Amino acid sequence: MTSPDPSSFFSRPPVLPQDSPLSPAGRFNRLSYIGWYGFLHVIIFLIAIIFSLALGILNVDNGMMNENFSNALSGLAGLGFFVLLGVYLYFHVVLVIRRLHDLNQSGWMSLLFFVPLINVFLTFYLLLVPGSAGRNAYGYPRITSTAEKIMAWLVIVLIVLSLLSMGSMMSYMMGSAELDMPAQMMQQSSKYF
């Protein structure tokens, strides 16, 4: 029978590094990446809507943009939207870097997102290729939290529903060639009422 190591009793337990999801250090598997990607877009969208309402760019009564939209974006408002775009791009690149780390790739590959057409292939690469199992050059795999899983599956369901609705709308528009003008559509639909 072996005796326990007495030094481990008196020494401190090893401190595990904190894994901040908003830091480029670490790994994200596919579900974590999709969940944080969806969360980022929801937050930026809400901030942009609130900012537009506060500046009077968006009209609450009819949901339309202000007629002098270009004038509203000059000056301080334009700077605010520019800062919001910078925050969005920073956190998007952080998410991509963490996902690339899970694939045992360098974070510098995230710069390919700024190259047209290649960014489409990079997106499919990040979404479809599973991460490396076990420890890689960027550490151990990160455990996906329940909140990340729920957010990821909500994003996946919303994307599938939006693709289905877009497909049905396109099918309707292409299949109803006899109703070309909006006036004809109104006449056809009003005869039932």
**Paired residues of 103 in beta bridges:** none
Give the count of beta carbons closer than 10 Å to the beta carbon of residue 20. 10
- Give the pLDDT score at 15: 43
- Give the pLDDT score at 179: 47
Residue 105: which of 127, 123, 128, 131 has the closest Cα? 131
With beta carbons less than 8 A apart as the criterion, state whether 78 and 84 touch.
no
Distance of alpha carbon 156 from its chain centroid, rounded? 11
For 79-100, what is each residue's pLDDT tens digit? Answer: 888 889 999 999 999 999 999 9
With beta carbons less than 8 A apart as the criterion, state whether 56 and 72 touch.
yes
Residue with tokens 């979404």: 127
- Give the pLDDT score at 181: 58
Q: Answer whether 0.85 is exceeded by the pTM.
A: no
With beta carbons less than 8 A apart as the criterion, state whether 63 and 49 touch.
no
Task: For the chain, list residues with pLDDT below 50.
Answer: 1, 13-16, 179
- Give the pLDDT score at 80: 81
- Give the pLDDT score at 170: 78
With beta carbons less than 8 A apart as the criterion, state whether 149 and 38 touch.
no
For 33-62, what is each residue's pLDDT tens digit? Answer: 999 999 999 999 999 888 877 777 766 665
Distance between CA atoms of residues 160 and 162, nearest Å: 5
Residue 105: which of 31, 40, 19, 24 has the closest Cα? 24
125, two tokens: 């690469």
With beta carbons less than 8 A apart as the criterion, state whether 94 and 22 touch.
yes
Mean pLDDT, the chain, integer: 78
- Give the pLDDT score at 66: 59
